[in-house]
Amino acid sequence: MIIAVDGPTASGKGTIAKAIAAHFQLPYLDTGLLYRAVGKQVWLNDGDPDNAKDALVATQFPDSLFDNPDLRNEETGGLASRVSIHPEVRSALYERQREFAMQEGGAVLDGRDIGTIIVPEADVKLFITASVEERARRRWLEMQDRELEITLVAIEQDIVARDARDINRKDAPLRAAEDALVMDTTSFDKDQAIEAAIEAVQSQLDR
Ligand code: DC
């Protein structure tokens, strides 16, 4: 059973995908982390994230980079969004994601193009959204918890910029697959969103 969970930044798709994986006892891959690792590696190489060649070189990052706590910060998220525009980067990361998805027993993957490009044949596709204001609020609370200093306005601006880049890029833009179930979690708290998503997956499987 392969479950694709896509959606914009800070929509809660990661939390939902992880909970689905735990509930259905499936391995889970956060594909954003791959793009974040490339973004961080470009920075470590003193490269330019907007340059396709520099970004492609950075796809050779060592796996130890996954342990770097910087990977989850806003700055790396911005770098990830920039390197993810290059088709060369997307194809360099394709096989790794595809292999993970096709492992025996299935998997849960979250990202931007899982249901459209990486695994169009996924058994269940969810597209998680929430308003920009709500996504900014959630991200801000998360940053507060981690004692990172950033204003709500700065986060909101960053989310708008990243949405624009993710939606408007030519290669594999962020969009819901035609057969995806779109879930707007703006008015849900975390537990409600998880419960609704698990129910949605179960009902898709029962059909
Ligand atoms: O989900 P995230 O915020 O960790 O993703 C960071 C960036 O990586 C996002 O702005 C766009 C890119 N990304 C992508 O292009 N395709 C994916 N499947 C996952 C992430």
Round the average pLDDT of the chain to a whole number and report it. 95
- Ligand 1 contacts CB of residue 17 (under 6 A): no
Ligand 1, residue 13: give the atom nearest the CA.
1
Tokens of 174: 């962020």
Model confidence over 27-69: pLDDT tens digits? 999 999 999 999 999 999 999 999 999 999 999 999 999 999 9
Domain boundaries, the chain: 2-206
Q: Are 129 and 138 in contact (CB under 8 A)?
A: no
For ligand 1, the distance from its centroid to the CA atom of residue 147, given in whole angstroms, is 23
For ligand 1, the distance from its centroid to the CA atom of residue 207, given in whole angstroms, is 30
- Ligand 1 contacts CB of residue 110 (under 6 A): no
Counting ligand 1 atoms within 8 A of each CB, the residue from 31, 79, 171 with the most, and so the one to mutate, is 31
More reliable by pLDDT, 153 or 172 = 153
From the list 86, 81, 82, 79, the residue with the least C-alpha distance to 52 is 86
What is the side-by-side order of every strand in the sheet holding 124-129?
A: 28-30, 107-111, 2-6, 124-129, 181-184
pLDDT at 205: 86
Q: Structure pTM?
A: 0.94
Bin 4: left if φ > 0, else alpha if -120 < ψ < 50, else beta.
Answer: beta
Domain 2-206 class? alpha beta
Predicted confidence (pLDDT) at residue 145 exceeds the cutoff of 90: no
Percent of the chain with pLDDT over 90: 86
pLDDT at 74: 84
